[in-house]
Chains A and B, each alone.
Chain A
Amino acid sequence: GESVGLHLPTLSVQEGDNSIINCAYSNSASDYFIWYKQESGKGPQFIIDIRSNMDKRQGQRVTVLLNKTVKHLSLQIAATQPGDSAVYFCAGVSGSARQLTFGSGTQLTVLP
Chain B
Amino acid sequence: EAQVTQNPRYLITVTGKKLTVTCSQNMNHEYMSWYRQDPGLGLRQIYYSMNVEVTDKGDVPEGYKVSRKEKRNFPLILESPSPNQTSLYFCASSPTGNHEQYFGPGTRLTVT
Contacts and interface: CB of A to CB of B under 8 A. Distances in A.
Contacts of A45: 103
B98 interface: yes
Contacts of A41: 105-106
Chain B binding surface SS class = strand
Given A41-B105, A91-B43, A99-B45, 18 more contacts: A1-B59, A34-B99, A42-B105, A43-B4, A43-B90, A43-B92, A43-B105, A43-B106, A44-B90, A44-B103, A89-B43, A97-B48, A98-B97, A99-B48, A102-B43, A103-B42, A104-B41, A105-B42
Chain A, interface size category, equals 20 to 34
11 contacts: A43-B90, A43-B106, A44-B103, A91-B43, A97-B56, A98-B94, A98-B97, A100-B33, A100-B43, A102-B43, A102-B44
Contact of B104 (A4, A34, A43, A100): A43
B112 interface: no
Bin the interface of chain B by size.
Answer: 20 to 34
Query: Per DSSP, are chain A's interface residues mostly helix, strand or loop, or mixed?
Result: strand
Interface of B: 4, 31, 33, 35, 40-45, 48, 50, 56, 58-59, 90, 92, 94, 97-106
B99 A42 contact: no
Given A34-B99, A43-B103, A104 B40 contact: yes
Nearest to B40: A104
